[in-house]
Structure 1
Amino acid sequence: MRIVSGQFKGRRITAPKKLPVRPTTDMAKEALFNILNNQYYFDEISVLDLFAGTGNISYEFASRGTKNITSVDQDYGCIKFINETATSFGMSIQTIKSDVFKFLEKNILKATIIFADPPYGFSIEDFSKIPELVFQNNLLEEDGVLIVEHSKHTDLSNLENYSHSKGYGGNMFSFFEL
């Protein structure tokens, strides 16, 4: 896994093999950030990275100048790895060890971009809880977007606030907006 662009472009990040993760591929990540680059100034936004895993997406935002990043994951090893990596790069990434659904129910932080990369094996009911809780609790800033990464075999187009999807290999990004 590597950082695709920004201040830390090309830096490789090697996560411990024991972490229960499936990092977003470099190709899919680069395509996603090309889309976001046309809509946002990264140094002016706030980001909430749900099911953060290795922190791959958080590091990419930080490398591009985002200062307000919160990464949420329930695995202690993932949170520890994100903290260590962010410290070694001098990135300001706040981490929260929590079940994402419990976090979304109680959270009061708003973000411009909320990125969720849940396990691909989630049921459609579990996937649907993510936008439901985000919009029910008004967690997106004005002109913000929720992006849910999932397998190309999962269809989220029937969910409320769905806008569109983009596919890259076996990865899909579904966008949700007000």
Structure 2
Amino acid sequence: MRIISGQYKSRKIIAPKNLPVRPTTDMAKESLFNIINNNYYFDEVSVLDLFAGTGNISYEFASRGTETITCVDQDFGCIKFINQTANKFDMPINTIKSDVFKYLEKASGSYDIIFADPPYNFSEEDFAKIPELVFANNLLSENGMLIVEHSKHTNLNNLENFSYLKSYGGNVFSFFEVEG
């Protein structure tokens, strides 16, 4: 995996092979960050990265100047790798080892961007829990955006606060926003 843009542009990050992850492809990641760039200033946002895996998305935010980044993943190996990489590049990434649903049930504060990349084999009920918990606990700022990555076989556009989706090959990003 590589960082696409910003201070660490073109840096390759090699994750251990034993991590239970499926990193977002470079093509999909580049398209996603073009959308985000049109809506936000990276140095002014706070980010919550759920099911963070290798930290791929968080590194991209950090490289572009985001100072407040929190990664949540339940796998110790993933959290350890994110911490090592963040320390190596002096990136402002905080990690939390937790089941994402338990974290969302108890979380407080608000974020401008919440990115969730759960396993593609999640049930639609499990996918639906993510926006449900985010909005029930007011975790998005007023102009915030929740982005859920999933396969083209999962349909989330019937969920409350769904705004739009973008597809890139087999990757789909569903965007959710605070109504009003």
Tell me the TM-score normalised to structure 2 length.
0.98
Please give the residue correspondences for 1:135-146 in structure 2 after superposition, counting only pairs within 5 Å: 135-146=135-146
- Confirm or deny that 1:122 pairs with 2:122: yes
Partner-residue secondary structure (3-state), 1:174: strand
Structure 2 residue aligned with 1:66: 66
Q: Report the Cα distance in structure 2 between the residues aligned to 1:36 and 1:75, rounded to whole angstroms.
A: 27
Q: Report the Cα distance in structure 1 between the residues aligned to 2:72 and 2:119, rounded to whole angstroms.
A: 14
Quick one: which amino acid aligns to residue 9 of structure 2? K
Measured after TM superposition, the shift of residue 109 of structure 1 is 2.6
Quick one: which amino acid aligns to residue 12 of structure 2? R
Q: Report the Cα distance in structure 2 between the residues aligned to 1:160 and 1:107, rounded to whole angstroms.
A: 20
Q: Report the Cα distance in structure 1 between the residues aligned to 2:177 and 2:103, rounded to whole angstroms.
A: 20
Q: Report the Cα distance in structure 1 between the residues aligned to 2:124 and 2:34, rounded to whole angstroms.
A: 28
Can you give the 5+ residue segments of structure 1 that lack an aligned partner in the other structure? none
Structure 1 residue aligned with 2:160: 160
Partner-residue secondary structure (3-state), 2:39: coil
Q: Report the Cα distance in structure 2 between the residues aligned to 1:13 and 1:109, rounded to whole angstroms.
A: 30
Q: What is the CA RMSD across the aligned residues, in angstroms?
A: 0.4
Structure 1 residue aligned with 2:177: 177
Quick one: which amino acid aligns to residue 95 of structure 2? T
Q: Report the Cα distance in structure 1 between the residues aligned to 2:160 and 2:126, rounded to whole angstroms.
A: 14
Q: Report the Cα distance in structure 2 between the residues aligned to 1:169 and 1:8, rounded to whole angstroms.
A: 26
Q: How many percent of aligned residue pairs carry the same amino acid?
A: 76
Can you give the 5+ residue segments of structure 2 that lack an aligned partner in the other structure? none
Q: Report the Cα distance in structure 1 between the residues aligned to 2:50 and 2:110, rounded to whole angstroms.
A: 13
Partner-residue secondary structure (3-state), 1:134: helix
Tell me the TM-score normalised to structure 1 length.
0.99
Greater than 2 Å deviation, 4+ residue runs: none
Quick one: which amino acid aligns to residue 8 of structure 1? Y
Structure 2 residue aligned with 1:111: 111
Please give the residue correspondences for 1:84-95 in structure 2 after superposition, counting only pairs within 5 Å: 84-95=84-95
Q: Report the Cα distance in structure 2 between the residues aligned to 1:63 and 1:142, rounded to whole angstroms.
A: 25
Q: How many residue pairs get matched?
A: 178
